[in-house]
Structure 1
Protein backbone atom coordinates (compact mmCIF):
# COMPACT_ATOMS: atom_id res chain seq x y z
CA UNK A 1 0.00 0.00 0.00
CA UNK A 2 1.49 3.39 -0.95
CA UNK A 3 1.96 6.05 1.69
CA UNK A 4 -0.59 8.83 2.02
CA UNK A 5 0.04 12.04 0.14
CA UNK A 6 1.80 14.74 2.15
CA UNK A 7 -0.53 17.45 3.44
CA UNK A 8 0.96 20.76 2.32
CA UNK A 9 0.58 23.88 4.40
CA UNK A 10 2.14 27.34 4.28
CA UNK A 11 3.02 27.30 7.97
CA UNK A 12 4.12 23.68 8.49
CA UNK A 13 7.46 22.51 9.84
CA UNK A 14 8.80 19.26 8.39
CA UNK A 15 11.21 16.52 9.43
CA UNK A 16 13.31 15.64 6.36
CA UNK A 17 15.47 12.52 6.28
CA UNK A 18 18.06 11.66 3.64
CA UNK A 19 19.56 8.19 3.72
CA UNK A 20 21.70 5.84 1.70
CA UNK A 21 20.76 2.42 0.43
CA UNK A 22 21.54 -0.51 2.73
CA UNK A 23 23.59 1.51 5.24
CA UNK A 24 26.30 2.39 2.73
CA UNK A 25 28.17 5.48 3.98
CA UNK A 26 26.62 8.53 2.35
CA UNK A 27 29.21 10.90 3.79
CA UNK A 28 32.64 9.26 3.83
CA UNK A 29 34.51 12.05 5.60
CA UNK A 30 33.99 15.42 7.28
CA UNK A 31 34.58 17.21 3.96
CA UNK A 32 31.53 15.41 2.48
CA UNK A 33 29.37 16.59 5.39
CA UNK A 34 30.72 20.14 5.00
CA UNK A 35 29.89 20.08 1.27
CA UNK A 36 26.35 18.93 2.05
CA UNK A 37 25.91 21.82 4.49
CA UNK A 38 27.26 24.28 1.89
CA UNK A 39 24.67 22.99 -0.59
CA UNK A 40 21.92 23.40 2.01
CA UNK A 41 23.05 27.00 2.58
CA UNK A 42 23.04 27.66 -1.17
CA UNK A 43 19.51 26.34 -1.61
CA UNK A 44 18.23 28.09 1.53
CA UNK A 45 19.02 31.35 -0.24
CA UNK A 46 17.42 30.21 -3.47
CA UNK A 47 14.20 28.71 -2.04
CA UNK A 48 13.88 30.74 1.21
CA UNK A 49 13.41 27.85 3.63
CA UNK A 50 14.63 27.85 7.23
CA UNK A 51 16.60 25.07 8.92
CA UNK A 52 15.82 24.85 12.64
CA UNK A 53 17.96 21.80 13.40
CA UNK A 54 20.00 19.15 11.65
CA UNK A 55 21.98 16.02 12.43
CA UNK A 56 24.36 14.49 9.90
CA UNK A 57 25.62 10.95 10.39
CA UNK A 58 27.67 8.75 8.05
CA UNK A 59 24.68 6.92 6.53
CA UNK A 60 21.91 9.51 6.82
CA UNK A 61 20.91 13.04 7.78
CA UNK A 62 17.91 14.64 9.50
CA UNK A 63 16.65 18.22 9.18
CA UNK A 64 13.81 20.14 10.73
CA UNK A 65 12.79 22.78 8.19
CA UNK A 66 10.18 25.47 7.65
CA UNK A 67 9.59 25.61 3.90
CA UNK A 68 7.74 28.98 4.00
CA UNK A 69 5.02 27.65 1.73
CA UNK A 70 7.38 26.22 -0.90
CA UNK A 71 6.93 22.70 -2.28
CA UNK A 72 9.45 20.37 -0.60
CA UNK A 73 9.01 17.47 -3.03
Structure 2
Protein backbone atom coordinates (compact mmCIF):
# COMPACT_ATOMS: atom_id res chain seq x y z
CA UNK A 1 0.00 0.00 0.00
CA UNK A 2 1.14 3.56 -0.68
CA UNK A 3 0.81 6.20 2.03
CA UNK A 4 1.17 9.95 1.56
CA UNK A 5 1.41 12.41 4.41
CA UNK A 6 3.46 14.97 6.27
CA UNK A 7 5.86 14.69 9.17
CA UNK A 8 5.55 16.86 12.28
CA UNK A 9 7.83 19.51 10.78
CA UNK A 10 5.68 19.77 7.64
CA UNK A 11 7.92 17.75 5.34
CA UNK A 12 5.87 15.69 2.88
CA UNK A 13 6.48 12.00 2.34
CA UNK A 14 5.22 9.18 0.15
CA UNK A 15 6.11 5.61 1.10
CA UNK A 16 5.16 2.11 0.14
CA UNK A 17 4.46 -0.16 3.11
CA UNK A 18 5.83 -3.51 1.98
CA UNK A 19 4.90 -5.83 4.84
CA UNK A 20 8.48 -7.17 4.84
CA UNK A 21 10.52 -7.24 8.05
CA UNK A 22 13.82 -6.49 6.31
CA UNK A 23 12.45 -3.40 4.49
CA UNK A 24 9.13 -2.28 6.00
CA UNK A 25 8.82 0.97 4.01
CA UNK A 26 10.27 2.23 0.73
CA UNK A 27 10.49 5.86 -0.27
CA UNK A 28 11.56 7.94 2.74
CA UNK A 29 14.60 7.57 4.94
CA UNK A 30 12.93 9.56 7.71
CA UNK A 31 9.86 7.32 7.77
CA UNK A 32 12.11 4.25 7.67
CA UNK A 33 13.99 5.61 10.69
CA UNK A 34 10.69 6.28 12.45
CA UNK A 35 9.58 2.67 11.95
CA UNK A 36 12.97 1.32 13.09
CA UNK A 37 12.92 3.58 16.14
CA UNK A 38 9.49 2.32 17.25
CA UNK A 39 10.03 -1.39 16.47
CA UNK A 40 8.95 -3.49 19.44
CA UNK A 41 7.06 -0.69 21.18
CA UNK A 42 3.30 -0.93 21.80
CA UNK A 43 1.11 0.70 19.13
CA UNK A 44 -2.66 1.16 19.11
CA UNK A 45 -4.02 -0.20 15.84
CA UNK A 46 -7.07 2.06 16.16
CA UNK A 47 -7.72 4.95 18.53
CA UNK A 48 -9.46 2.57 20.96
CA UNK A 49 -7.26 -0.48 20.49
CA UNK A 50 -6.22 -3.24 20.28
CA UNK A 51 -2.62 -2.58 21.30
CA UNK A 52 0.15 -4.58 19.65
CA UNK A 53 3.95 -4.41 19.67
CA UNK A 54 5.15 -2.88 16.41
CA UNK A 55 6.51 -5.55 14.09
CA UNK A 56 8.08 -3.88 11.02
CA UNK A 57 6.72 -6.73 8.90
CA UNK A 58 3.12 -6.02 9.95
CA UNK A 59 1.75 -3.53 7.40
CA UNK A 60 -1.31 -2.77 9.55
CA UNK A 61 0.85 -1.85 12.55
CA UNK A 62 3.20 0.30 10.43
CA UNK A 63 0.20 2.20 9.04
CA UNK A 64 -1.12 2.67 12.59
CA UNK A 65 2.27 4.09 13.62
CA UNK A 66 2.22 6.55 10.72
CA UNK A 67 -1.30 7.64 11.65
CA UNK A 68 -0.17 8.14 15.25
CA UNK A 69 3.15 9.93 14.61
CA UNK A 70 2.47 11.80 11.33
CA UNK A 71 -0.43 13.38 9.45
CA UNK A 72 -1.58 10.80 6.90
CA UNK A 73 -3.25 12.44 3.91
CA UNK A 74 -4.01 9.46 1.66
CA UNK A 75 -3.72 5.68 1.64
CA UNK A 76 -3.86 3.75 -1.65
CA UNK A 77 -3.99 -0.03 -1.76
TM-score, L = length of structure 1: 0.30
TM-score, L = length of structure 2: 0.29
With a CA cutoff of 8 Å and minimum separation of 6, indicate the structure with the bigger relative contact order: 1
